[in-house]
Amino acid sequence: MHIFRLCLLGACAGTNGCSETVAACEGVLCGALPPAITFQMLDGIDGGTVPGARVNGLDCSAVCPGQLADGGLVEQAGTFEFTADAPGYVDLRFEVVVPIAAPVVGQCCPVPFVPQHRDVALTPL
């Protein structure tokens, strides 16, 4: 599920996603947050693609967003655990830390985290 953000009069200050300049942000449709984590699945020997690769049981044959085991996207800061697997490869358990983003003065629609990209190399059996 994507989180959509809309700044309304009086609701744009502080941590709601808009800057303290309420008048400038009033009515701004912020849109969906980007995924906090993206993965690229790679063969640990030759760096090629990994057919049938999955992260937390969900398809990730090339580049995919970080998804929780229930299928929800990671759209916030925090520490998240993942399991990557594919037929003919050793399973890999790992975690990704998504840091909180520093506030940007005057920005109506800041992203509250620093997006992370991970190349995940799976080792063939």
89 by DSSP, 3-state: which? Answer: strand
The DSSP symbol for 36 reads: S
Which pLDDT belongs to residue 22? Answer: 57
Q: Is the pLDDT assigned to residue 58 strictly greater than 60? A: yes
Q: Report how many domains make up the chain.
A: 1
Whether residue 101 contacts residue 112, with contact meaning beta carbons closer than 8 Å, is answered with yes
pLDDT exceeds cutoff 90 at 6:
no
Is residue 50 situated within a structural domain? yes
Mean pLDDT, the chain, whole residue set: 84
Is the per-residue pLDDT at 7 higher than 50? no
Q: Is residue 60 in a domain?
A: yes
Q: Model's pTM, two decimal places?
A: 0.76
Q: Rg (Cα) of the chain, in Å, rounded?
A: 18
Question: Exposure string (b/e) for 84-108, b if CB count within 10 Å is 16 or more?
Answer: bbbeebeebeeebebeeeeeeeeeb
Bridge pairing between strands 54-55 and 78-85: antiparallel
Q: How far apart, in whole angstroms, are the C-alpha atoms of residue 27 and residue 53?
A: 42
Asked if residue 2 belongs to a domain, the reply is no
Position 7 in a domain:
no
Q: Which pLDDT belongs to residue 50?
A: 94
Domain that includes residue 52, residue range = 34-122
